[in-house]
Amino acid sequence: MSSMFPADVFDPKRRDFLLAGAGAVTAMAIFPELSVARSLQGADTLNIALVGCGRQGRAIIGELQKIENVKIVAVCDTDESRANGAARRVEGAEVFTDHKAMLDKRKDIAAVVVATPTHLHRQPVVDCLGAGKHVYCEAPMAHTIEDAKAIAAAASAAGKLVTAIGYEGRSNPVYQLARTFFRSDAVRDVIACSAHQYQKTTWRFAGSDARREADANWRLNPELSLGLPGEWGSHQFDVAHWYLDELPAVVRGGGAVRFHADGRTIADTVHAELVFKDGVRMQYDASLCTSYLGRAETFRGINATIRLAWSHGWMFKEADAPTQGWEVYANRQQFHNDEGITLIAGATKLAEQGKLKEGVGLPHPSLYYSLWDFAEACAKGKAPTVSAAAALKTTAVAIAAAEACAKGTEIKIDPSIAGSKPS
């Protein structure tokens, strides 16, 4: 064998990976497409209504406004001042305080985005699907398994109507790109995974009067809220389900009020362990008492570790992992003693042009891609990225995690869910 060629060039497995790598490079070169806001070319204008005009509703309006063929025609909130506030931000949106009245009056609505508090998802989702509207529902889908099943059943009964659930990781281009590496030999056998989210906040929202304040602070009510494992953790659990292509069988957890001793009973700091088959475990930590490290998910394999941080992603290779062809273009960032290869859509092109200085984030917030996927599914009759059936499983895991953390115990996931595929 000629010494001019590295031995692994002649290794069929290696060649296969190079081909896979070439595919990955293609996937990385999607930046120009991502950069410009997408439009639903060839589609009629999609009339959308927003139900729930709180802070997440504000973010949703901002991202929907970027999608060319989408028009927000109505906004609805039981709090009229909040609905009026949302309507002021959009040209031509009609205000409602009752979603049923909105559905009765505005027959031109094609799709509805439901961004009410989690415990108030069920009724508008079921009613909107019943009225023949496509629905995007924020995640987690519900705070009880009964509500989650009711939403999944309504989605199933709605036939070809799109019911999408807002687990944004699956629409996030960085996460999609990283998954192509994760599913290849670049990472190989998964050893363990972890996720954390830290943000220093009371999670308490001021309202203009006592009733509004009580309504706004549903997250602190254990009867209505899944707490950190549900409101935050379920998004990260869903990423793990999607990457590992399986659901955990068992979840253990614990939590406490470590700092915000303001009479709340819901934990401000939690930890959980999700146990998958073959012993792979996901460690989860979240806290409202510190912000250091923010949010990230980590997947460790024997060849590399992938770290995802919402708008950014990196791969940390083991020294003995095979060198891959595309690495010539790779941008790297130093993290103390470790060097991460940035997983960037379009990195190859930028690197060739000598423009890549360090990690480039997404050109839009993750929410944008999730809403765009929904709009495209509605316009083109495609399946949603995250169906209600898939979200039911993640929601079930989140409910179990919330219970485990609240009770400091171990919960077995319903075998009918644990034994199934995540999507």
Can you tell me the distance from the alpha carbon of 298 to that of 202, in angstroms, rounded to the nearest whole number? 26
Give the shortest CB-206-to-another protein separation in angstroms: 4
Q: How far apart are CA 23 and CA 16, in angstroms?
A: 11
CB of 31 or CB of 181, closer to another protein:
31
Whose CA is closest to 261, among 290, 292, 227, 289?
289
In the complex, minimum distance from the CB of residue 333 to another protein, in angstroms, rounded to a whole number? 11
Please report how close the Cβ of residue 88 comes to another protein at its closest, in angstroms. Answer: 6
Q: Which is nearer to another protein, 81 or 409 (CB)?
A: 81
Q: At what angle do helices 234-244 and 173-182 cross, to 10 degrees?
A: 40
Q: Which is nearer to another protein, 65 or 144 (CB)?
A: 65
CA torsion sign, 37 to 40 to 45 to 46? negative
Pick between residue 56 and residue 78 the one whose CB is nearest to another protein: 56
Minimal distance, residue 170 CB to another protein, in Å: 18
DSSP 329-377: G--EEEETTEEEEE--TTHHHHHHTT---S----SS-HHHHHHHHHHHH
Can you give the binding site for another protein, defined by CB under 8 A? 31, 35-37, 55, 58, 61-62, 65-66, 68, 88-91, 201-202, 204-208, 213, 262, 311, 350, 355-365, 368
**Residue 138 DSSP code:** E
Rounded to a whole number of angstroms, the minimum distance from the CB of residue 41 to another protein is 12
Q: Which helix (H) or strand (E) holds 211?
A: helix 210-216
Task: Kindly tell me which of 331 and 395 has the beta carbon lying closer to another protein.
Answer: 331
Tell me if 16 sits within 8 A of 319, measured CB to CB: no
Please report the beta strands in 52-169, taking only residues with DSSP state E, as ranges in sequence order.
Answer: 70-76, 94-96, 111-114, 134-138, 163-166
**CB nearer another protein, residue 119 or residue 204:** 204
